[in-house]
Amino acid sequence: MRGVILDCDSLGPDDLDFSALHNLPVTWTIYGNCPDSEVIERIGDAEIVMTNKTAVNALTLSQTPNLKLITLPATGTNVVDLEAAKERGVVVCNAVNYGTASVVQHVWSLILALTTNLQSYHRDVMDGSWAESGSFCLLEYPVRELEGKTLGIVGAGDLGKGVAKIAQAFGMRVIYAALSGRTYTDDLPRVELNRLLPMVDILSLHCPFTPQTKNLISSSELALMKDSALLINTARGPLIDEPALKQALINGEIAGAGLDVLSVEPPVEGNVLIDSAVPNLIITPHSAWIAVESRQRLIGQMVENISAFLDGKALRKVN
């Protein structure tokens, strides 16, 4: 059986072990990256395709008749036309819960950096401000304790619950957002989002991007938050109205934000938030998931998906 990996470089393969993948009864052709114009040619007569960010659309599916399985080293499935795949009998599988520990760790690195003003104090050490101060310490920037503060979480999956677990260790109160139009069957403490926003000291987003959650946090929501509150987003960029966030930070409507995602990635044409004039903002390059252990789990799940398919079963099937 022939398999193709379209964009292996997106997994940062240099520090990963691919031996289990190569031990499958599959002959692999591996590409580092794949331009959209070459997807059909590179899939060719392959029966199995692994793709992370390279799109497999209806046209591609119509011209790759041997294709039987698409396995995604990611949870999101938007790079595949699921309806077209289903019509053509192509099984699509994804990965789940592989990066929980990595993302949760990253969320708290953002929160801690902002609450301790870590970047500002580091800068003052490196530029000589501390040496010139005449004091054993600097007190230039506010530092706040997390104990007793309220963390609001939007999204109660493994990531949201993982962030909550660490919050409880810090002695924080955790409340989950109840989004309009949704029914919840769990017993988690939930408050309608607009009622939750004035209560929180930190708001962390962990929900999927859908038409209903686009610009979930915009100017009206930011206006409801405390001017001492922080906003954290490691989910999807379009959950936040970026121009509104920029103005809220500049105007001091909230105290800071930590983002691992933007509306367009990479920001090849820039982004309104990539501006040194925006205070108390940390942006990382969609790197919350990239711990080596997390990426190795992805490979393990891809092997499981393919092995199950070869045995006539479906594992993590999304269509």
Cβ neighbors of 54 (< 8 A, separation 6 or more) are 6, 7, 33, 34, 36, 39, 79
Q: Give dist(CA 176, CA 314) in Å, integer.
A: 33
Of 226, 240, 153, the closest CA to residue 189 belongs to 153
Grade residue 228 by pLDDT with cuts at 50, 70 and 90.
very high
Could you check whether 2-98+292-310 and 100-283 share the same CATH topology? yes
Question: According to the model, what pLDDT value does residue 76 have?
Answer: 86
Which residues participate in catalysis according to the annotation? 236, 265, 286
Q: Which CATH superfamily is domain 100-283 in?
A: NAD(P)-binding Rossmann-like Domain (3.40.50.720)
pLDDT digits over 63-101, tens only? Answer: 999 999 999 999 989 899 999 999 999 999 999 999 999
Fold of 2-98+292-310: Rossmann fold (3.40.50)
The position carrying tokens 């859908």 is: 210
Encode pLDDT of 285-312 as tens digits.
999 999 999 999 999 999 999 999 999 9
Mean pLDDT over 96-111 rounds to: 97
> Which residue in this structure is represented by tokens 């966030």?
245
> What confidence score (pLDDT) does residue 79 get?
95
Averaged pLDDT, 112-118: 98
Q: Do 206 and 162 contact (CB within 8 A), yes or no?
A: no
**CB neighbour burial string for 52-72, b if at least 16 within 10 angstroms, e if fewer:** bbbebeeebbeebeebbbbbb
Q: Could you tell me if 61 and 89 are in contact, meaning their C-beta atoms sit under 8 angstroms apart? A: no
> DSSP class of residue 80?
B
pLDDT surpassing 90 at residue 38: yes
Rounded distance, CA 25 to CA 307, Å?
A: 9
- Indicate the domain borders of the chain: 2-98+292-310, 100-283
Average pLDDT for the chain: 96
Task: Give the tens place of pLDDT for each residue, 247-282.
Answer: 999 999 999 999 999 999 999 999 999 999 999 999
pTM for this entry:
0.91
Q: pLDDT band for position 182 (50/70/90)?
A: confident
Whole-number Å distance between alpha carbons of 170 and 149: 9
**CB of 249 closer than 8 Å to CB of 279:** yes
- Average pLDDT over every residue of 132-139: 94
Closest CA to 150 of 224, 206, 256, 229: 229
pLDDT confidence band for 185 (50 / 70 / 90): confident
Query: Residue 57 — pLDDT band, cuts 50, 70, 90?
Result: very high
Tell me the pLDDT tens digit for each residue of 136-154: 999 999 999 999 999 999 9
- At 180, is the pLDDT very low, low, confident or very high (cuts 50, 70, 90)? confident
- Say yes or no to pLDDT of 283 above 90: yes
CA distances, 23 to each of 16, 147, 306 (Å): 15, 50, 11
Neighbours of 113 (CB within 10 A): 16
In this prediction, residue 125 has a pLDDT band, given cuts at 50, 70 and 90, of very high
pLDDT of residue 128: 97
Mean pLDDT of 171-197: 93
DSSP character at residue 128: T
